[in-house]
Amino acid sequence: MTPVKPRIAITVGDPAGIGPEIAGKAAGDPRVREACEPVLYGPAGDRVFAPGVLSAEAGRAAYEAICAAVRDAQAGLVGGIATAPVNKLAFARAGMPWKGHTDLLAHLTDSALVAMMFWSDPLKVILLSVHVPLSDVPRLMTRERTDAVIDLAARELPRFGLARPRLALAGLNPHAGEEGLIGDEERRVLRPAVDAARARGVAIEGPFPADTIFGRAARGEFDVVIACYHDQGLIPVKLLAFGHAVNVTLGLPIVRTSVDHGTAFDIAGQGIADPSSLVQATLLAARLAARAD
């Protein structure tokens, strides 16, 4: 008996960006068709958005498509969601408080704790903080948040085939603080969090200097690195796997994956956008949905 393929929602993101193009290409990709039944979510066909033009209307249309896909995922009509990129400024112009998909999805699903993970063959990274100014990172990097993200990673990663993931925690400061000489966040927050997690049975080490730990993980010493802030984690991922990495939201009651890039207004409407990341996001969503069944 042929197994039933999961239905995966593909949202087109900001309709003025490359989202509609890559969503259509991903939905028609033979690999995607073999793995799942893709279902496109976007504005009605009679709504026209000028390519590359930032607008509140486009931000609102992206939001409405996401809401529709989430409702269907919660109702079991689709097994997961793969999202094309939204524009944060378009969201803001539409009067919406969310910085992007991650916090919006947490709101729509009433999820108290979520974390952004980037999944690629050479490197996998989870972020302690996401779209916040760099100056706010030390204040937001609390012991409570660190403990929660470590436990979330240990709990969620087995769904991805990592039965007992080997985690590494990156330090915030140069040289992981040099025993307090270059900042005390490692001694005050990160190291105690690692010690406590190990006592709970989590396979985690660190904090390690950020300038070496990502290379160690890419060589296979660790499965996943927990990074302190957005660019600390995303620079190595995009250096090694840009266009093929997948953004995954951990902590949601639904499957959600996304691309590793933005709306690319500069090439929107030209038919040259590369759908590779959205293809990979859809394939990963299909695998996760199949495992959930």
Q: DSSP states of 221-277 as a string? A: S-SEEEESSHHHHHHHHHHHHTTT-EEEEET-SS-EEE-SS---GGGTTSS----HH
Residues 44, 45, 47, 52: what is their CA dihedral angle, to the nearest 10 degrees? Answer: 110
pLDDT number for residue 4: 85
Domains and CATH numbers, the chain: 1-111+252-293 (3.40.718.10), 118-241 (3.40.718.10)
What is the mean predicted confidence (pLDDT) over 251-255? 97
pLDDT in tens, 81-131: 999 999 999 999 999 999 889 999 999 999 999 999 999 999 999 999 998
Q: Residue 182: which of 191, 173, 190 has the closest Cα?
A: 173
Position 2 scores a pLDDT of 54
% of the chain beyond a pLDDT of 90 = 95
Report, as an integer, the average pLDDT of 224-237.
Answer: 97
At 293 the pLDDT is 66
Greatest Cα pair distance in the chain: 64
For residue 292, pLDDT beyond 90: no
Nearest to 25 by CA among 220, 276, 283: 276
Please tell me the predicted confidence (pLDDT) of residue 168.
98
Helix axes 19-28, 276-292, angle to 10 degrees: 60
Q: For position 44, what pLDDT does the model report?
A: 85
Per-residue pLDDT at 36 exceeds 90? yes
Interval 193-206: pLDDT, tens = 999 999 999 999 99
Instruction: Look at residue 45 in the predicted model and tell me its pLDDT.
Output: 81
pTM: 0.92
pLDDT for 230 beyond 60: yes
Give the tens place of pLDDT for each residue, 134-178. 999 999 999 999 999 999 999 999 999 999 999 999 999 999 999
Is residue 52 predicted with pLDDT exceeding 60?
yes
pLDDT of 3 reads: 66
Mind listing the pLDDT tens digit for each residue in 2-30? Answer: 568 999 999 999 999 999 999 999 999 99
User: What average pLDDT is seen over the chain?
Assistant: 96
Instruction: Classify the C-alpha dihedral 129-138-171-203 as positive or negative.
Output: negative
